[in-house]
Amino acid sequence: DAGITQSPRHKVTETGTPVTLRCHQTENHRYMYWYRQDPGHGLRLIHYSYGVKDTDKGEVSDGYSVSRSKTEDFLLTLESATSSQTSVYFCAITDPSSYEQYFGPGTRLTVT
Amino acid sequence: QQQVKQSPQSLIVQKGGISIINCAYENTAFDYFPWYQQFPGKGPALLIAIRPDVSEKKEGRFTISFNKSAKQFSLHIMDSQPGDSATYFCAADQGAQKLVFGQGTRLTINP
């Protein structure tokens, strides 16, 4: 998984609770991304980052926030989880030498 | 709206046959088109990718065909094997490697 770890790998939480997912990379790449995967939708971009404290919204950013205080860590926060945020979340990085994008193992989040 | 449309949703091919998955896009600003392979419980893995200045790219049994005028591209898997059974996603780069994905194709190779 190209030096990408995600934690936790599985989480069940209740509606209305805050949740933070962590992505950690060992490649020291600047570009990092959060996607969600849902049946029938493929993967959709939530937020992305071009570097420390440099983040921007993707196509499905409502209800999510991100932070990047270190190059290696990119955090995704659901401030108040809803059932519609039940999904599998993938972090990705881009290799600047090839522009190829690599994905982490994913976090399966269930909001009850 | 779905910027990249992928078909079919599912595909069954006999071992040794050719698997073909198609994608179409609308935005002519897309400049990089990767294909990903995903096994259950795993993250997507980059399989092969192409840029629009090339009409075909081949890596082993995997070939991308690209038709810029028709805004279509396809993945061909030659001599399909049971180990190729997975979900395949096409994608397009909308800039800065922000990928927009097709809906996915579940490929089953029957032995």
CATH number for the domain harbouring residue A105: 2.60.40.10
> From the CA of A106, how many Å to the nearest CA of chain B?
6
Number of domains in chain A: 1
Task: State the pLDDT confidence band at B97, using cuts at 50, 70 and 90.
Answer: confident
Mean pLDDT over residues A56-64, rounded? 95
- Which contiguous run of DSSP H or E holds residue A4? strand A4-7
CA–CA separation, B34 and B84 (whole Å): 17
**Residue A109 forms beta bridges with which residues?**
A11, A87
In three-state secondary structure terms, B83 is helix
Domain limits at A51? Answer: 4-111
pLDDT value at B1 more than 70 = no
B89 touching A (Cβ < 8 Å): yes
For residue A112, give both structure tokens.
């009850």
For residue A46, give both structure tokens.
């939530």
Contact between residue A78 and residue A86 where contact means Cβ atoms under 8 Å apart: no
Cβ contacts (< 8 Å) between B96 and chain A: which residues? 31, 48, 50
For residue A67, give both structure tokens.
């932070």
Domain positions in chain B: 4-110
Task: State the pLDDT confidence band at B68, using cuts at 50, 70 and 90.
Answer: very high
* Residue whose tokens read 């049946």: A39
Task: State the pLDDT confidence band at A39, using cuts at 50, 70 and 90.
Answer: confident
Superfamily (CATH H level) for B4-110 = Immunoglobulins (2.60.40.10)
Contact between residue A36 and residue B101 where contact means Cβ atoms under 8 Å apart: no
pLDDT value at B71 more than 90 = yes
CA–CA separation, A84 and A44 (whole Å): 14
Percent of chain B residues topping a pLDDT of 70: 98
φ, ψ (nearest 5 deg) of residue A84: -70, -10
A104 vs B43, B89, B98: nearest CB: B43
CA–CA separation, B75 and A4 (whole Å): 27
Mean pLDDT check: name the lowest of A29-33, B2-6, B10-14.
Answer: B2-6
A43 vs B42, B45, B89: nearest CB: B89
Tell me, what's the pLDDT at A1? 54
Tell me, what's the pLDDT at A106? 97
Tell me, what's the pLDDT at A2? 65
Tell me, what's the pLDDT at A96? 86
Tell me, what's the pLDDT at A92? 97
